Structure 1
Amino acid sequence: MSEYSESEIRFNLMAVIGDRRKDLKDRIGKVEADIARLTSRLAELRLEDKEELRAEAEAVQTEIGQLSNQRADLAYKVQLEDGKFERYKFDNALRKHNFIPLIYQLAKALAGKGTLAPAVEEAKKKAQTRPQDTQQPF
Structure 2
Amino acid sequence: MATGVLEDDIVKEIYGSSKEWVSVEVKLSQSLDPSTLFHLTDNEAGDRFYMRLNDNRTSYFGYKAIQLFKNNSKNKQSIFKDWEKLKHNITFIHPQSEKHHLRVVGGFQFSSHKSDDEWREFGLNHFVLPEVLISTDNNGTF
Task: Settle same-fold status: TM greater than 0.5.
Answer: no
Q: Give the TM-score normalised by structure 2.
A: 0.16
Who wins on radius of gyration, i.e. which is larger?
1
Greater strand content: 2
Greater fraction of residues in helix: 1
- Alignment TM-score, normalising by the size of structure 1: 0.16
Higher relative contact order (CA closer than 8 Å, sequence separation 6+): 2
